[in-house]
Structure 1
Amino acid sequence: MSQPLPLPFTHQPHPSPVSPEHRAALLVNPGFGRVFTDHMVTIRYTDGQGWHDAKVEPRAPIPLDPAAAVLHYAQEIFEGLKAYRTADGGATLFRPEENARRFQESARRLAMPALPESLFLASLDELIKVDRAWIPDGDGSLYLRPFMFASEPFLGVKPSSEYLYIVIASSVGAYFKTTADAVSVWVSQDYTRAAPGGTGAAKCGGNYAASLLAQAEASRHGCDQVVFLDAVERKWVEELGGMNVFFILDDGSMVTPPLGGTILPGITRASLITLAADRGITVREEPYSLDQWRADAASGRLREAFACGTAAVLTPIGTVRSHEGDFTIGNGRSGLQTEELRTALVDIQRSRAADGHGWVHRVF
């Protein structure tokens, strides 16, 4: 028996949805974050009233007062997760409860109201049911972007009393545009992503805005991504612009920087730690310096390294560049253990392997 929705959703069908023929053409090669579905979810929050007015409606521009608090004080958070098409024509999500909980933690850090987990999950389900035809076949997926921002019109530094929560969806293929077997990364030694006591563990737009200049620097040096060091000693590897990082040593063990408020607690990261333990692989969450990274790559102790996240899944790191010179990890290509972990994760996400941890959420 289905559970009642935490809020009733009203549905407003799109008056002129994209034709099946045009949609099929778009899904041949959607890229990442450029092709959007017909509908979106909106839910409003008002002090004293709470969450209300839940809708599935045509995707359209958002009317916004120029004094809206988000435009002046940046109260904004978001999440990212994917829906996958199953062999029987259904759809699944991977650990969406964890996204819901992280969304709540991000909201608390930015003094925003916490969206109930049940309402977060219902908003995803409702949108997927309406726009299920936008889930690509094959290796593609439907990327879901829930986000929330302060919508009260006022000028004054205080938490807003009004918020708008929205979910949009985008049909996607590969995140990285490179055709290389592994990506190259630039170590930023001039800019930092987050400091202790800051918003590094929250998924808020400001963190990503602060990374763009460093990412541009990486691009100028011919690299696909930027790597940030800690803000205090400027020596410990923390994370890429939007991804966590793992190092695989010659004994098969793995190291990943520890969470501590400056690193985003990635759901892919946590899942990989569990999958590694299932395979008897030791994973240590401990600091790993740039000097150690360079030395281990030179000695052969470091066998593989990869970045991970919802969008990038597992992406091998082949070359590291910095002001102090370049170095290569292994043979500069994807390694066996990286590929095995990636396959194990993706097969569970796409319902091709048994889900022993209860991670897969079936939508229909």
Structure 2
Amino acid sequence: MAAFGTVFTDEMILSRFENNGWTEPAVVPTQSISLHPGAHVLHYASTCFEGMKAFRHADDSVHIFRMEKNVARLQQSSELLTLPKVDGAMLSQMIVDIVRRYASDVPMPPGSMYIRPTHIGTEASIGKAAAPSLNSLLYVLLSPVGDYFAGGAKALRLLLDDNARCASHMGMVKSGGNYASALQPILKARAAVQADQVLFCPNGDVQETGAANFLLIDGNEIITKALDSSFLHGITRDSILTLARDRGMIVSERELTVEELLERAVKPGAEAALSGTAAVLTPVGTLIHAGKEYHVGGGKAGNTTATLRQALNDIQWGRAEDKFGWLTRV
């Protein structure tokens, strides 16, 4: 089976910002865009994107999960990167239109249609290192994906790193540069201690991994870093915390130090997990710090992690009531 995110639909939808306005969105062949080699995005990383999914229900209807939240975050990222202002209503309609066009390609559960809206600066000017791009391209790419856990939900190994994932004021921007800056630490961690990911903890402050938010589960309590500009405000994170509160769990959004994490993670019944669009909620079994390994939940996936992931999947797949209004039918 093809690797996650490597298969695309034949077409995508796009709009361009030029002459101080957005063009009428158009459906075009997926590989049809071209960029000037001096495009702002290629030199100064004026790029942001989103990741969301559409799901097929048992009655064959197709629903997009938390589209409004993703659109709002792309608007926020664009603003923080000083890209042209994104028209939220236009982008929402672009997403619905292209998903509707390829509704027959949305897989049955546990598969889904991954949706990737992307906004890039296209002005041809290599003299704008300290100025924004006045032109941009907004497009929505689709990728049918299978079960992220096809081989089973393996508990991950995380290396704790005392460096930051990215510049502290840029963490809440979903921008390609933030992911690129995390790649070298991740590859080094894989080679050195066979870690699956790096948990960035600048100055002992537990933040996030290279591509997901981090949650510590201690009995009936979930502990995760309070929202600030230093890390990504994950929509899956928000969804999981909402479900946890609805089930009567205590949700503590606060500072979490490496010392407290290692102390609580090894307690009987403790769990840790990563939240993100692709995997929803992935169990963490081992934390590696200062040459020592700390096993969480005996190094295996925990029940609360599995229960919360299933609760979210059930809403996405239409097997449970969408009482939070998270689904948009196309």
Task: Say if 1:309 and 1:77 are closer, same or farther in 2 by CA, change over 3 A.
Answer: same
Q: CA deviation at 1:175?
A: 4.0
Secondary structure, counterpart of 1:35 in structure 2: coil
Q: Where does the alignment leave 5 or more consecutive residues of structure 2 unmatched?
A: none
- What percent of counterpart residues are identical? 38
Structure 1 length as normaliser, TM-score?
Answer: 0.86
SS in 2 for 1:64: coil
1:227 paired to 2:195: no
Match of 2:181, SS state, is helix
Q: Is structure 2 residue 182 aligned with structure 1 residue 211?
A: yes
Q: Which residue matches 1:240?
A: 209
Deviation at 1:99, TM superposition (A): 0.3
Deviates more, 1:318-327 or 1:122-131: 318-327
Q: 2:154, 2:283 within 8 Å by CA — same for their partners in 1? A: yes
- Provide the secondary structure at the position in 1 that maps to 2:114: strand
Residue 30 of structure 1: CA displacement?
Answer: 3.8
Aligned residue pairs total 327
> CA–CA distance in 2 between the matches of 1:273 and 1:70?
34
How many angstroms does 1:311 deviate by? 1.0
Mark the structure with the bigger radius of gyration: 1
In the alignment, which residue of structure 2 is the partner of 1:254?
222
RMSD: 1.6
- Tell me the residue number matched to 1:142: 113
Alpha-carbon contact 1:140-1:171 (below 8 Å) kept = yes
User: Shift of the alpha carbon at 1:297?
Assistant: 2.7
Post-superposition shift, 1:95? 0.8
CA displacement 1:199-219 (0-9 Å, x = unmatched): 100001110110111111222
Using a 3 Å threshold, how does the CA distance of structure 1 residues 185 and 175 change in structure 2: closer, same or farther? farther
Task: Indicate yes or no: 2:48 matched with 1:77.
Answer: yes
Q: CA deviation at 1:61?
A: 4.2
For the 8 Å contact 1:30–1:171, the answer to whether it is kept is: no
CA distance in 1, matches of 2:67, 2:247: 24
Q: Tell me the distance in 1 between the aligned counterparts of 2:250 and 2:90.
A: 37
TM-score of the superposed pair, with normalisation by structure 2: 0.95
Structure 1 residue 180, shift from structure 2 partner: 5.4
- 1:184 positional shift: 1.3
What do the CA deviations read for 1:268-324 (whole angstroms, capped 9, x no partner)? 111111111111111000111112121223343x61111001112000101112333
Which of the numbers 35, 45, 52 marks the counterpart of 2:7? 35
- SS of 2:41's equivalent in the other structure is helix
- 5+ unaligned residues in a row in structure 1: which ranges? 1-28
> Could you say which residue in structure 1 is the equivalent of 2:278?
311
Letter in 1 for 2:322: D
In the alignment, the residues of structure 1 paired with residue 275 and residue 92 of structure 2 have an alpha-carbon distance, to the nearest angstrom, of: 23
Mapped to 2, the partners of 1:96 and 1:275 lie a distance apart of 18
1:182 is matched by which residue type in structure 2?
Answer: A
Q: Point out 4+ residue stretches in structure 1 off by more than 6 angstroms.
A: none
| Structure-to-structure mapping, 1:80-159, within 5 angstroms | 80-157=51-128, 158-159=131-132
CA distance in 1, matches of 2:149, 2:127: 40
2:249 equivalent to 1:281: yes
Aligned mate of 1:46, from 18, 25, 41: 18
Picking from 156, 161, 169, the partner of 1:183 is 156
Structure 2 counterparts to residues 345-360 of structure 1, below 5 A: 345-360=312-327
The match for 1:194 is 166
